[in-house]
Amino acid sequence: MVKLIMGLSGSGKTKTLIDLVRAAIDEEHGDVICIEKSKHLTYDIPYQARLIRTDDYSVKGNTMLYGFLCGLHAGNYDISHFFIDDLNKILDDRSNEALERFLEQLDAFGRRENVSFTITINADPAAVSDGLKKYF
């Protein structure tokens, strides 16, 4: 239930994410949520998707982001898909191990609640662990 889009800066991750948000709006039956750190996607994300900036809610760090996502879902069971742009800007621990634990938590949550996650990360895909590559 977790799909990771990883690449170096300028590789088209955000454009891919925007295209996937548009497709999800057209094809999925639930609510689509797009999470970003600051005002970057305001004019790119269609109004049918809920755009949430973590800076507006002082969300910082792995644990806080996970709790924030769970809280959003607890308040709206109709959410079918979360899109997160540039995850590394939100997390406080960006190590491969911490990122693997975070994605495993999201994957378990997504399977349990029938929610999908699509996440972009600015990093070299060749330099990540096998634990992260399974989400490509």
Tens digit of pLDDT at every position of the chain (136 positions): 999 999 999 999 999 999 999 999 999 999 999 999 988 899 999 999 999 999 999 999 999 999 999 999 999 999 999 999 999 999 999 899 999 999 999 999 999 999 999 999 999 999 899 999 999 9
Alpha carbon of residue 57 to chain centroid: 16
**Cα–Cα dist 125/79, whole Å:** 29
Q: Give pLDDT tens digits for 34-50.
A: 999 988 899 999 999 99
Domain ranges for the chain: 2-133
**Cα–Cα dist 121/86, whole Å:** 5
The architecture that CATH gives domain 2-133 is 3-Layer(aba) Sandwich (3.40)
Kindly state the helix (H) or strand (E) to which residue 118 belongs, with its residue range.
strand 116-122
Q: How many other C-beta atoms lie within 10 A of the C-beta of residue 4? A: 20
- What is the longest distance spanned by two Cα atoms in the chain? 38
